[in-house]
Structure 1
Amino acid sequence: MLTLAARHRRRVALLGMSMQKNVTIAAELGYLRVPDDLLLPLEELAGLPPARQVILSTGSQGEPNSALALMAAQEHKYVQVAPGDLVIISARVIPGNERTIGRVVNALYRLGAEVLYEDNAFVHVSGHASQEDLKRMLTLTRPLNFIPVHGEYRHLLGHARLAAGVGLPADRIFLIEDGTGLEVTKTAARVVGKFPAGRVLVDGKSVGDIGAVVLRDRQLLAEDGLVAVSLVVDARGAVVAGPEIASRGFVYVKENEPLLEELKAAVLAALAAAEP
């Protein structure tokens, strides 16, 4: 994508801390070549004609408050999706995210954009290991005991069958699910029964029996979020520690560190402007 952008004289902005970190690490390790003067901060890219812009963004699973979701909702500070724009979602839908991704795709279409994603274009290659990769790993490591993990039951079963296919003994392959106990020693492993597993609602020191009021408050937090600011000031009103920003249901902290820094600066500016 970066090479194509440079070839067509487009500049590129990276949105999301994880995107920026991954590109930086890949470039430092030599896995990714970033042409000189290709990358621009988003606020500078916004000043270029649309035909000279490329934006690489997080939010492929329709996460609320992700950059792509904000663009689709017309709430992004710098990016306004317009007719003629092309949005490529290079990711497969993770089971359970169908509705959130569908809402984002529909919103982008309503704004006049063309959207390419797994339903209508071949724009993604799985990052998961293939069957041959898994068999090679099992052959190289020859585990004493093997527990397939990750995915639904059908995936676990398929992985267990792969292990049997490369010669692992059937009594050393444990196809277990959440709540199944497994005792492992230096020489053997065995199933030791079932244990309670599943969702546990916790509120403070209360576990399990959560009242309607608490659930209502949690729902409000989930929909609107909460931002809390804490700091320490001395007798003269001077800040001696902080401010620290804590949020719940507001933004993804790891991908919005610059925003939190802006909030801290705004708090300090407000304090400085306040009357003694």
Structure 2
Amino acid sequence: MTTATGGVRAHARIVARDDGRGGTSLPVLDGDGPLALRRTRGSGAEARVMLVGAMSGPLGGDHFTVEADVESGARLKIGSAAATIALPGQGKSEARYDVRLSVADGGELHWLPEQLISARGSDLHVTTHVDVGAAGRLVLREEQVLGRVGEDPGRLGSRIRVRVAGRLVLDQELACGPGAPGGWDGPAGLGGCRAVGQLVVVRPEFDVNPVAARVLGENAAVLPLAGPAVLVSAVAADALRLRRLLDEALDALA
């Protein structure tokens, strides 16, 4: 971790590898500052890692980076111990949170952090870049909550890019809060909801049995992507209802 005038720079890296005995080893499990990593008890061949926030943040000017590489035959699930809260810092510059995920052929990754809460006065931009091999498997969940209870949100920008076998299947951007393009909270945007989430599922079998587009209730939709992948987008009044929607969508894809 480094601390500069502009804020904290922190980096975490995980490498998951087939241990040759029916399990998954973690030859690299390294985090610093606010990005502490803990291995928890896994299930079967799957290794599990918890991202533990050791400090407040990200604050204005901070730059956090998390990288995870899942090699062939390895299975990894990554979660977080608590929600991440974007807070205003002493400076006026934006905070950045970069996530870079790679899944090789025959690897499997579940990226399931808790919600990101955009507190009033904060300014955060999140980027998630994912590369999945042709025979790789992915479940990625992102949830954003706009403001704490009774609070207006800060400015939040989010971009997700997913490639499968080198082919771009998703490039999606979201901007909310003060300074975001007009209409983000209107009928064509979030419609007054304060929680928004995305679920990306990549499975090789979707090439043979593609998933049909459909609406789930009033606030969620399943959209097949240009490859063996599916995007679920959902909005809700709060974080609890959003999680239920995304969990139901994932169960429906099983």
TM-score, length basis structure 1: 0.23
Higher Cα radius of gyration: 1
**When the two structures are superposed, what TM-score results if normalisation uses the length of structure 2?**
0.25
